[in-house]
Amino acid sequence: MGKLFLVPTPIGNLEDMTFRAVNVLKSVHLILAEDTRTSSFLLKHYDIGVHMESHHKFNEHRSLGRITDKILSGMDIALISDAGTPAISDPGFLLVRECRSLGIEVETLPGATAFVPALVNSGLPCDRFCFEGFLPLKKGRQTRMKELAIEPRTIVFYESPYRLVKTLLQLAEYMGQTREAAVSREISKHFEENTRGTLEELANYYVANEPKGEIVVVVKGAEQTKSKKDT
């Protein structure tokens, strides 16, 4: 029986790739990539000649059986996403779950993911936090905003540059305009930008400066009111 490897890939700077990740990708029989065109640049850079196949949100359900059959037959397979760690707001969860149910060993390498450097760089408390991935676009969005407004932990989520201003304004509506937050854009890339301020200040900044690229938003948790027992 083979093994499934989950291999993080750089979110920007190709030098963020680890030696171990390169060695694993060179040693497996097959690499599953979210977008083979995007991943081909990475593999070429590190002289990795292993065959690639597409594995993305549009085909992952129907390809699970075929992939697990290959692993059961003895093939070692690596899963990579376009950038970052597979299964973190990218395909991977379904395949890992299926492998676990079949007794297939899964090895996940540590490595790049966007929300950790954004959280640490924000200057907001990072001892306890919640990661939201992408907020709901329509159904359940208002309900989630209300829930997050009273969340005491630091809140981290991904956002599209096309929705950033709208989201910041909505957060300000539910959490208050003065709630502290930070926006990290294009982490590990040449034009990386980290902006801090209140939700109102950040919304105004990105109205004047159109955002581009991959974005992580970090918002300070709600202040906890002390009860009489605590005083």
Q: Please choose, from the candidates 160, 167, 177, 158, the residue with its C-alpha nearest in 3D space to the C-alpha of residue 211.
A: 160
Which residue is it, tokens 């395909």? 91
Any idea what DSSP says for residue 87?
T
Closest of 212, 192, 184, 189 to residue 13, by C-alpha: 189
- Helix (H) / strand (E) element for 119: namely helix 115-122
CA distance 25 to 9: 11
Q: What is the structure's pLDDT at 230?
A: 57
With 60 as the cut, is the pLDDT of residue 227 above it? no
In order of their start, the domains of the chain are 3-108 (3.40.1010.10), 115-219 (3.30.950.10)
Q: Which two tokens stand for residue 184?
A: 């990290």
Pick from 215, 223, 173, 179: which is nearest to 198 by CA?
A: 179
pLDDT in tens, 9-61: 999 899 999 999 999 999 999 999 998 998 999 999 999 999 999 998 888 88
Mean pLDDT estimate for the chain:
93
Residues 6 or more apart whose CB falls under 8 angstroms from that of 224 comprise 152
* pLDDT at residue number 224: 78
Q: What distance, in Å, lies between the first and last C-alpha atoms of the chain?
A: 60
Q: Cβ neighbours of residue 168 under 8 Å, at least 6 residues apart?
A: 181, 183, 199, 202, 203, 206, 217
What pLDDT sits at residue 215?
96
Q: Return the pLDDT at 90.
A: 86
Q: Mean pLDDT across the stretch 94-101?
A: 95
pLDDT band at 226 (very low <50, low <70, confident <90, very high): low
Contact of 50 with 29, CB cutoff 8 Å: yes
